[in-house]
Structure 1
Amino acid sequence: MKRQNGFTLIELVVVIVILGILAVTAAPRFLNLQDDARDASLEGLKGAINGAAGIVYGKSAIEGKERKDSDTITVDNETLNVAYGYPKATDIEKAVQLDLTSEWKVATSVSGASGTKKAFTLKNYAEDPVTKCYVLYTEATSATSGAVTTVEGCK
């Protein structure tokens, strides 16, 4: 009697079909690359805002304007309004040199994002930024508390 070595063709086809079904149903749950890319972009913007705010604060401190509630400084031939040395919310995109024409937009529907706060989200992000991811910049309110940048609404 001959002993069988290996798998039959039917066994291989059944295994491939089962693996295909698992890949179609389970993989999208673990490989949500679009959300990961959006979240990484927003975290990158948060870092850029924090970096720009730090540079502006350093320049304000050199000029002795870090304790004033309202003043202006010039960085890279750009006049910025500052509050306690940090950029005001109205000028944060100038400090970051943020491109509001192709990649980013101001998320105006975010609660409290006016006056001392400003929110940004991706321009091609069609969903409502109130319930989705956005970067919120809050300008400094005193000489002892600096500006705060947070990424909010992400899961």
Structure 2
Amino acid sequence: MLRHDNGFTLIELVVVIIILGVLSVIAAPKFISLNKDAKVAVLEGARGALSTANSFSYSKAALQGQELVDASSANIDMDSDGTADLIGYYGLIKFVISAKEYAGLDEDLTISKHYGGSGPTLPYFLISFTDNPASAVTQCFLSVYYPDTAGGSVTYEFVTEDC
């Protein structure tokens, strides 16, 4: 009498489960790393967007003679309609709402002003993810450092340990 076996034996099933478990342990860090790489790439894109917005703002300010002014009211006409639209900080974007608007940052990102003081050693803006805002505990953000005086350059620092 011929006997036809259908399906896996118990031993074959256990071996397949073990192989899949080993593969998942090996593959999981790769996928987690992709998530970190994606977040870092988003922060790099935000840096480029803010840098471009500041370059445009500075160009407009220079054309209007406002690149040496740390203004307290709107002093830069961004759309050439004769009305000042932006409050400038030596030709750079001074406030959070303006920075987010002119840089065109995605809704997944938040930008906040550092209120711990001023100076080249303290960040002017912090750009982070909305669901994980920048803090001393959260180590996934971009620090933007503005110069103390007119003509200085903007510098950026990525903090990506916990992305």
What is aligned with 2:63?
62
In structure 1, distance between residues paired with 2:111 and 2:150: 27
Distance (whole Å) between structure 1 residues aligned to residue 144 and residue 59 of structure 2: 18
Alpha-carbon distance in 2 for matches of 1:142, 1:150: 19
**What residue ranges of structure 2 are gaps of 5+ in the alignment?**
1-11, 119-123
Structure with the larger strand share: 1
Bigger RCO (CA 8 Å, 6+ sep): 1
Per the alignment, residue 135 of structure 1 pairs with 142
Q: Does 1:152 align with 2:159?
A: yes
Q: 1:96 to 1:83 in 2, by over 3 A?
A: same
Match of 1:103 in 2: 108
Identical residues among aligned pairs (%): 23
Once the two structures are superposed, the pairs formed by residues 105-120 of structure 1 within 5 Å of their partners are 105-107=110-112, 113-114=114-115, 117-120=124-127
**Structure 1: which 5+ residue stretches go unaligned?**
1-11
Q: TM-score, normalised by structure 2?
A: 0.66
Deviation at 1:134, TM superposition (A): 1.0
Q: Which residue of 2 aligns with 1:88?
A: 94
Count how many residue pairs are aligned between Structure 1 and Structure 2: 139
Shift, 1:47, TM fit: 0.9
For residue 86 of structure 2, give the secondary structure of its aligned residue in structure 1: strand
Give the TM-score normalised by structure 1: 0.69
| Cα deviation code 1:49-106 (max 9, x no counterpart) | 111111111111222222x13142021377111122211244422331435xx32224
**Aligned-pair RMSD on alpha carbons?**
3.1
Give the Cα–Cα distance (whole angstroms) in 1 for the partners of residues 156 and 85 of structure 2. 21
Structure 1 residue aligned with 2:20: 20
For 1:64 and 1:38, locate their aligned partners in 2 and report how far apart those are by CA, in whole Å. 38
